[in-house]
Each structure stands twice: as C-alpha cells, then as structure tokens.
Amino acid sequence: MNAREESDEILRVKDLVIDFAGRHRGQIIRAVDGVGFSVQQGETFGIIGESGSGKTTVGRCLVCLIPPTRGQVLHFAQDPFALSASELRRHRRSFQIIFQDPNSALDPRMTILETVREPLDVAGTGTPDERRRKALAMLERVALAPELAHRYPHEISGGQKQRANIARALVLEPRLIVCDEVVAALDVSIQADMLNLFADLQREFALTYVFISHDLRVVAHMSDRVAVMYFGKLVELGPAGALMTAPLHPYSQALLSAEPEPAPARLRNRQRIILKGEIPSALAPPSGCRFHTRCPLAVAECAQREPEWREVAPGRLVACHFVEPAKTVEVGRAGPPRAIGVENAIKS
Ligand SMILES: Nc1ncnc2c1ncn2[C@@H]1O[C@H](COP(=O)(O)OP(=O)(O)O)[C@@H](O)[C@H]1O
Ligand code: SF4
Ligand SMILES: [Mg+2]
C-alpha cells in the first residue's frame, strides 16, 4: 500500500452492501445496505445502533473478514480485496479487530504468552527470543501481571482475557483496530479502566479506532465522530459532541433520550421518546424510510419514499425527510431540534 503516507484518510467505505444467504433457498438477508463513510488516521469513529442493525457485519468487512457484496472498502485509497491471498494476509496485520467475547481469539490450549506471541511467529518477524520478549513487553503494556503469562484462558478473568486480546492485536503494530463491543461482556466496574487503556494505547501507538457499541455512553466517551446505524443503513453521522447534545434524526433522539444519567445536560430536561416495537425482520425491510414503523414522527410519505442521505450542516449528515438544512443551523445553536417538531411527538 504505497499511498499510505500520502493520505490522512485511512479508511473509506463506499456504498457498501453486504448480503447473507437466509435459511431457506433463495432467501437473502441484506445486513448492510448502502453504507458510506471515511475515517481519518488517528481518529476514533464510533458506530452506534441497536442489536441486529449491522454493526458487526460492517466491522468484519472493514478488516477484510468478509467481502462486500457491492460497494467498496478502501484502505489508504486502495482496495485490499484486490490483493492476492498472501498479500492480503500480510496486509491484514495492519487492520485488526477485537470482539465482544474475550474468548473469541484465545485458543484454550495455549498459554496467554503463546497466544500473544503466535501472530509474531506466523509473521516470522525477528528471532524466537525477540518475539517472546516483544509479547511479554506487550502483556506488561496492557497491565497483565507477568505471572499470568503462563496461565491458560480459563485460569484468568474476562477483563484479563480482553487485555490479552488487545496485546495480541497490538503486537503486529496495526494502524487501525475495529473494537466491536469490547467492553460489553465485562463487569461494569472494570469497563472504565478498559476504555482508559484503549485511549492510552491509541495515543502511544498512533492508532485509529472504529469503536462499535450499542452503548451510547461508551461511544460518546471514546469517539471523535459518531455514525448512527439503523437496520443496515446509516441514519445520522456527525461530530460526537454535536450529535450527543443535539441529535437530528428521530432515531438518534430516541437512543439518547433513553439514556439514564449521565446524559448530556440539555437532554435531561427532555422527556423520553419511547420507541414502539422491535427492530423489523431482516427478511422484510420496511418500505420508504426503514424507521417509519417505529418513528414517532412518521407521516404517510415516510412509508413511500426513502429519505436521502444529505449533509445538512458541515460534517453533519442525516437521512430524514424533515431535517432541513437551514433550521439545522438553528438547532445547533438553540435547543432541541425544532426543525422536525420533536416536542409534539415525544411521549410523556
Ligand atoms: N453470517 C450470517 N448469516 C446470516 N445472517 C447474518 C450473519 N451475520 C449477521 N447476520 C444478520 O445480519 C444482521 C446484522 O447483524 P450484525 O451485523 O451482527 O448486527 P449488530 O452487530 O448490529 O448486532 C442481523 O439480521 C443478523 O441476523
Ligand atoms: S423520514 Fe419519516 S419515518 Fe423516517 S425518520 Fe424522518 S420522520 Fe421518521
Ligand atoms: Mg454486533
């Protein structure tokens, strides 16, 4: 990837579509449907959405674990899926993913040290002794005590396992890490420590993160920009601060209003928006705006016409018929989003 140092843009996703085969013959599940965004080097790009909205599928495609059905994922402006199998294997070292389940990347038959050393052994970098020392140094960096290095995964806690996963991802000196619900399985008491570790490592190793979570507080805490995903599509994207204090899309507003303390001060006065129903079946996407079956502001037009994905203020994109650019500026300055008349729709 020679364009690497010439561009600040580490990742670009263009009109990404990802289909899976359903259980029955000919059935197609469109998990991701026309998603696009870009990520700059060194930033943390958050993706938020309910379970089943397609976040993990996007994350796996970003690190080339699954190919796009349509559209493109570019790494430093180049298509990694165009690489040969061996080139892609080498290239993947720079684009890592850490999953929610701390056991997912740990082999129960390997000690923690062996697990962290394994990617270096496969890559064949340095001498065996150098690889061992590098793995030990990384375990120390993620604050795993040296005596844990020789334990097996079942002998350590979930938090310690997740630290081992981080060390395993980091030994290959990646440029970008997709963090998929990385604290969701951990005890609440250690989540903050873990998030701080991610933040420290980002500074130290100049990492770029794509931080995926269903937990708004996690994404808000970590991210520079946030994309909100609903049923395979992005519905809103913007700077984390602006999106958290003045969300534009009714779905983002509902997610935020459902947050317990500590919600941003301006939202505490707001009444909760109760979303009706579950996320629809992946086999039967709603017509028009996919959110219309649950949107408190939906009108007949919403079921007929899909809203465009539009930039309504610098760096703020949204897909809703009723968010208007001119009023958006007003929204940013003063109070809740009157542009879409949310007060009238909020349920008490
Ligand atoms: N391997 C797969 N085969 C079939 N359907 C899948 C597969 N992976 C994900 N899906 C479906 O794609 C949709 C999005 O899933 P996922 O990306 O895991 O969402 P999220 O991470 O937001 O919870 C869901 O309907 C899920 O059932
Ligand atoms: S387009 Fe209609 S249904 Fe979709 S978010 Fe906007 S108001 Fe709600
Ligand atoms: Mg997921």
Digit-coded pLDDT (tens) for 157-173: 999 999 999 999 999 99
For residue 51 and ligand 1, the question of a CB distance below 6 A is answered with yes
Q: Is 310 in the pocket of ligand 2 (CB under 6 A)?
A: no
Q: Quote the ligand 2 centre to 291 CA distance (angstroms).
A: 6
Q: Does ligand 2 lie within 6 Å of residue 292's CB atom?
A: yes
Q: Residue 159 to residues 59, 103, 167, 192, 292: CA-CA distances in angstroms?
A: 22, 11, 12, 11, 40
Mean pLDDT (whole number) for 333-339: 36
State which of 19, 20, 216, 219 you would mutate to test the pocket of ligand 1, scoring each by most atoms of that ligand within 8 A of its C-beta.
20
Distance 321 CA to ligand 2 centre (A): 6
Sign (positive or negative) of CA dihedral 69, 32, 75, 118 = negative
Ligand 3: centre distance to CA 58 (Å):
9
For the chain, the straight-line distance linking the first and the last C-alpha, in angstroms and rounded, comes to 54
Over residues 186-212, the mean pLDDT reads 95
CA distances from 183 to 153, 174, 244 (A): 17, 20, 20
Is pLDDT of 255 > 70? Answer: yes
- Please report which confidence band the pLDDT of residue 177 belongs to, taking 50, 70 and 90 as the band edges: very high
* Of 122-126, 201-205, 228-232, 315-319, minimum mean pLDDT range: 122-126
> For ligand 1, what atom is nearest to the CA of residue 57?
17
Q: pLDDT > 70: what percent of the chain?
A: 87
pLDDT at 29 over 90: yes
DSSP-derived letter for residue 152 is: -
At residue 2, does pLDDT exceed 80? no
Q: Domains in the chain and their CATH numbers?
A: 1-94+174-223 (3.40.50.300), 105-173 (no CATH), 246-345 (no CATH)
pLDDT recorded at residue 286:
93
Ligand approaching nearest to the C-alpha of 24: 1
pLDDT > 90: percent of the chain:
75
Residue 13's beta-bridge partner residues?
A: 37, 73
Position 278 confidence tier, pLDDT thresholds 50, 70, 90 = confident
Task: Provide the CA 146 distance to its chain's centre, in angstroms.
Answer: 32
Provide φ and ψ at 273, rounded to 5°. Answer: -95, 115
Q: How much is the average pLDDT of 56-85? A: 97
Q: What is the pLDDT of residue 343?
A: 30
* 86 vs 271, residue with greater confidence: 86
Q: Which atom of ligand 2 is nearest to the CA of 295?
A: 8
Q: Between the CA of residue 47 and those of 212, 227, 279, 332, what are the distances in Å?
A: 5, 5, 17, 21
What pLDDT is recorded for position 152? Answer: 97
- β-partners of residue 12 are 38, 74
Question: Is the pLDDT at 329 greater than 50, yes or no?
Answer: no
Task: Report phi then psi at 42, rounded to 5.
Answer: 90, -10
**156 alpha-carbon distance from chain centroid:** 27
Across residues 92-121, what is the average pLDDT? Answer: 94
CA-based torsion, 60, 64, 65, 68: positive or negative: positive
Q: What is the pLDDT of residues 113-157, one digit of tens each?
A: 999 999 999 998 899 999 999 999 999 999 999 999 999 999 999
CA 301 – CA 321 distance, rounded (Å): 9
| The pLDDT of residue 100 is above 50 | yes
CA angle, 284 then 287 then 289, to 5°: 120
Which ligand places an atom closest to the C-alpha of 99? Answer: 3
User: In the prediction, which pLDDT does 249 show?
Assistant: 96
Q: Which of 218, 231, 187, 201 is nearest to 138 (CA)?
A: 201
Is the per-residue pLDDT at 106 higher than 70? yes
53 within ligand 1 shell (Cβ under 6 A): yes
For the chain, the residue count is: 348
- Backbone dihedral region for residue 198 (phi beyond 0: left; psi -120 to 50: alpha; all else: beta): alpha
CB neighbours of 157 closer than 8 A, spacing ≥ 6? none
Using the predicted structure, report yes or no on whether residue 39 has a pLDDT greater than 70.
yes
Task: Give the pLDDT mean for 59-69.
Answer: 97
Omega of the bond leading into 146 within 30 degrees of 0 (cis)? no
* pLDDT for the residue 270: 54
pLDDT band at 340; cut points 50, 70, 90: very low
**What's 24's DSSP letter?**
S
Region of poorest pLDDT, from 122-136, 240-254, 272-286: 272-286
- Compute, in angstroms, the gap from residue 340 CA to the centroid of ligand 3: 30
What is the distance in A from the centroid of ligand 2 to the CA of 331? Answer: 17
Q: What is the pLDDT of residue 216?
A: 86
What pLDDT score does 97 carry?
A: 97
pLDDT interval class at 337 (50, 70, 90):
very low
| pLDDT for the residue numbered 282 | 81
pTM of the complete model = 0.90
pLDDT at 30 > cutoff 60: yes
| Mean pLDDT value across the chain | 88
- 325 CA distance to ligand 2 middle (Å): 15
* Ligand 2 contact, 291 CB (< 6 A): yes
Compute, in angstroms, the gap from residue 165 CA to the centroid of ligand 2. Answer: 40
